[in-house]
Structure formats: structure tokens, C-alpha cells
Amino acid sequence: MHIPDGYLSPQTCGALGVAMVPVWATAASRVRRVVTRRFVPGLAVAAAFSFLVMMFNIPVPGGTTAHAVGAVLIAVLLGPWAAVIAVSIALAIQALFFGDGGVLSFGANAFNMAFVMPFVGYGVYRVVAGSTPVDARRRALAAGLGGYVGLNVAALAAAVEFGVQPTWFHTADGTPLYAPFHLAQTVPAMAIAHLLVAGLAEFAVTAGVVAYLQRANPALLTINHHAVAPAAGMAGVEGPVWWVRWRWAVIGLGVMVLATPIGLLAPGGAFGEDAPGDLDLGRYGLRAVPEGLSRYNGFWSHTLLGDYGFGEGQNATVGYLVSAVVGIAVIGVVVAAAVGLVRLLRRRTEPSAVPDEAMVG
């Protein structure tokens, strides 16, 4: 679902990027209000989780791949505005350091995966879960359904963005300038990949983690569920240090890092993410790569580990592991730097006591 540079017109990228500005501003404002509280490690863990789960490619019939995103799980645990920030951080690092998704198309990818997905999925979760206690089985099911629906709506958004390109942007003779796929091709391709494969993985991950937390660490579920009845005898989320509250999440991330090479087992790449030279031009009635696609696809050439590996493709497993470690390390630095900047700015005024619900609203 990561849209590379060149597949969308500059106009499309610009419009979606501008649309995300107020979303990012609102999310930053809400997260900023509680930045000195216990959400800081949670935000870093959430961004790292989203980054890692997207490295687990799943084979799709037809020779392509897809992956989960984790956005709705983050929305369930920390609120949808926190999910906007966490997933946006993960997407930015993927694009800048690993060439996964474009830099010019970052706004479009964030619109789909960091905005549409968590808010749609969280809405489904709220409707299905109702007012049941946080330890109710219905909540885990609701979270899974939210993840499934959210991912598929985000995939549909990407399919439409791809599919309108040859209609809206073409040469005088009708030759596409950017993505050569029409809606009749993009919608079925994305639907098959996400309704039948990636969506089920998203359901399993989201429902499974919530169900696990209901048994092993129900206090974490209270962060975003202040108005919901707690489980009998449930302790609050307060604790002496962040490590006590988040240690199992950090340990889980470590296990995910070690398991990331599993993502290399899936053959092929995701639909719409091919390098221009790998496109089946004849399938789309073309003799050459579309002009705009060729021009903008190489816009960002400063990746640290392109395609999550070393330059010549040697030692793919080691390269994938190194990429996972580098990715979560950079996420930690980015979150720490952002928190430090916010705290520095807040020293000029006396911070007011704001309820934790500000993260969610």
C-alpha cells in the first residue's frame, strides 16, 4: 500500500499533503498536551510496532504481497490522534531511510494509512464494542473488525488514487503520465490483496494483541478507555517507571525484530510498488514508461538501506535485521527529540493539568 514517487501526479501528492497538514497539527496539539505523561514511551512503542509489522510481507494470489499496518491497534490503545502521529513517523522513516513509499507521495501514504485507516477502524471498534467492559471478549472482536475494515478502506483509497491518474493526467494522445492503472484494475487488485489476505492478518494482529492485554496487562487498556467499566479488580495504569508498564511491549518488539526476516519469504512485491523498469508495459498498452513516472520515481536517492537491505542485495537476512534495528532506533531518536523540543517550549509557560482523554477526543 506504500505508493512510490512518480505513480501519483504532483497535484495529487500536493492536495493530499495539504489535506494532512491540519490533521498533523491537530494530532500534534493533542499529543503535546500529555507529552510529559506516560504516553511518551507508548507513542515510541506504537511507532516502532507499526514500522516492524509492515516489514512482514504476506504472499497474495497473483504473485504480489501485502502487509498489516497496526494503525487501528494503536488507535484502540492510545487513541486515533496518537495513531496519526505514530504511523506518520513510521511512514516517514520508511520513505527516507529505506525507500519504502515515496517522499513526494508521503502525504498520500499518510492520508491512507495514518488518517483514514485509524479513524475508520476506530469508529468501527467503538460501534461494535459499545459500552462493554474493557476485558470483554466483544472488545477484542471489535478491535479485530476495526482493523479489518480500516485496512480495507485505506486500500480502497489508495486504489482510487492510483486509478484516477490515467484519466486525469495524460498526454494529448491519451498516454498516461503517471500510474498507468485504471480503476478497473486497481480496485480488484487492492481488494483481493486486502479483503482476502492482509485484512485477515490485520484482524488477527489487532484482536490478538487486545485479547492478550486483557489477560496479561489489562491496565494498558485503561489509557484510552476512561469512560468504560474496568475489569473486576483491575489496577490502574499508574506505575513507578515507564519500564514497569511497557516492558512486555518492548520485549515483544525485540521478538518482532528477530522474526522480521520471515517477511523475505513472500515472493514478489506489492501491487503498484514496482520500479518503472519492472512494469509490464504491454499489459497497459504502453511502449515506454510514462513520462511523469520516469521523471519523479528517482526523486529521493539518499536511502540508508534501500529496500531494507545492502546495496548489492547480499546477505538479505542480515540486511533485513539491520534495517529493523536501525528503523526502531531512529524512531526512538525522533520521538525523544520531539519530546525534548516540546518540553523546552513548555518551560516558558506553566503547564496546566489536562486529563488524559485529550489524547483521544
What integer pLDDT is reported at residue 62 of this predicted model? Answer: 82
pLDDT bucket at 113, cuts 50 / 70 / 90 = very high
What integer pLDDT is reported at residue 354 of this predicted model? Answer: 47
| Strands 58-60 and 64-66, sheet pairing | antiparallel
Q: Which whole-number Å values give the CA distances from 361 to 75, 154, 240, 254, in the listed order? A: 11, 22, 27, 31
Please provide residue 66's backbone torsions phi and psi, each rounded to the nearest 5 degrees.
-150, 175
- End-to-end, the C-alpha distance of the chain in Å comes to 28
Instruction: Report all structural domains of the chain as residue ranges with CATH numbers, in order of start.
Output: 10-359 (1.10.1760.20)
Instruction: State which H helix or E strand residue 121 sits in.
Output: helix 117-129
pLDDT bucket at 357, cuts 50 / 70 / 90 = very low
* DSSP conformational letter for 311: T
Choice between 192 and 341, residue whose per-residue pLDDT is larger = 192
Rounded to whole angstroms, the Cα distance separating 354 from 136 reads 29
99, β-bridge pairs: none
Q: How far is CA 25 from the centre of its chain?
A: 18
For residues 347-359, give the mean pLDDT: 52
Rounded to whole angstroms, the Cα distance separating 361 from 323 reads 35
Rounded to whole angstroms, the Cα distance separating 112 from 76 reads 18
pLDDT bucket at 231, cuts 50 / 70 / 90 = low
For residues 9-25, give the mean pLDDT: 98
pLDDT bucket at 353, cuts 50 / 70 / 90 = very low
The residues, any chain, with a CB within 8 Å of residue 2's CB and separated by 6 or more, are 54, 91, 94, 95, 100, 101, 102, 109, 270, 273
What integer pLDDT is reported at residue 238 of this predicted model? Answer: 47
pLDDT bucket at 348, cuts 50 / 70 / 90 = low
What integer pLDDT is reported at residue 239 of this predicted model? Answer: 47
For residues 174-178, give the mean pLDDT: 96
Predicted confidence (pLDDT) per residue in 31-89, tens digit: 776 555 556 788 899 999 999 999 999 999 888 999 999 999 999 999 999 999 999 99
Predicted confidence (pLDDT) per residue in 20-34, tens digit: 999 999 998 887 765
Angle between helices 71-78 and 137-163 (to 10 degrees): 130
Residue 156: is its pLDDT beyond 90? yes
The residues, any chain, with a CB within 8 Å of residue 131's CB and separated by 6 or more, are 228, 229
For residues 280-289, give the mean pLDDT: 90
* Reported pTM: 0.92
**Do 77 and 220 contact (CB within 8 A), yes or no?**
yes
Choice between 246 and 2, residue whose per-residue pLDDT is larger = 2
Instruction: State which H helix or E strand residue 190 sits in.
Output: helix 183-193
* DSSP conformational letter for 262: G
